[in-house]
């Protein structure tokens, strides 16, 4: 998987075509990057109101931090399931707030939040604009995928 992912990311970063990104659901971790996240400098990037994006999902982040805390318990120290859940809850909330479309728009990490009903019209305009921009020549040869 790592080799295929590396090839995909190489292709994405080397592409000289117009890149448009629309986050419709959850975009977490390497998937966010591989699907033309902000690091690949898309020409336009939008989210639907229910879109989410982050390095980790809220549940994964809370579980990972809880595992780290559990591994660092002193010998003889216990941690009940209820205490663990109390530890995880604020982490989940923090990640949910961070990953929300409004937070991404507020920080200008996306160009805007699209109403799903306006998606087709917006992307029609973007493709029309892209057709009017001169094509940049590529410096790369053919790459086997």
Q: For domain 1-51+108-145, give the CATH number.
A: 3.90.226.10
Cα separation, 106 vs 110, whole angstroms: 9
Domain with CATH 3.90.226.10 in the chain: 1-51+108-145
Report helix, strand or coil for 54.
Answer: strand
Give pLDDT tens digits for 39-84.
888 999 999 999 999 989 999 999 999 999 999 988 888 889 999 9
The widest CA-to-CA distance across the chain, in whole angstroms, is 69
97 pLDDT higher than 70: yes
Q: How far is CA 74 from the centre of its chain?
A: 36
């Amino acid at each position: 998987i790592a080799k295929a992912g590396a090839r995909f990311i190489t292709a994405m970063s080397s592409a000289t075509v117009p890149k448009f990104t629309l986050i419709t659901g959850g975009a977490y971790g390497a998937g966010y990057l591989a699907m033309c996240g902000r690091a690949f400098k898309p020409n336009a990037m939008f989210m639907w109101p229910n879109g989410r994006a982050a390095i980790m999902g809220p549940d994964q982040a809370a579980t990972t931090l809880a595992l780290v805390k559990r591994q660092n318990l002193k010998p003889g120290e216990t941690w009940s399931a209820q205490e663990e859940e109390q530890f995880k809850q604020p982490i989940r909330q923090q990640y949910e707030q961070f990953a929300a479309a409004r937070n991404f728009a507020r920080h200008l990490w996306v160009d805007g939040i699209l109403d799903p009903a306006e998606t087709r019209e917006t992307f029609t305009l973007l493709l029309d604009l892209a057709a009017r921009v001169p094509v940049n020549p590529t410096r790369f040869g053919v790459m086997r995928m």
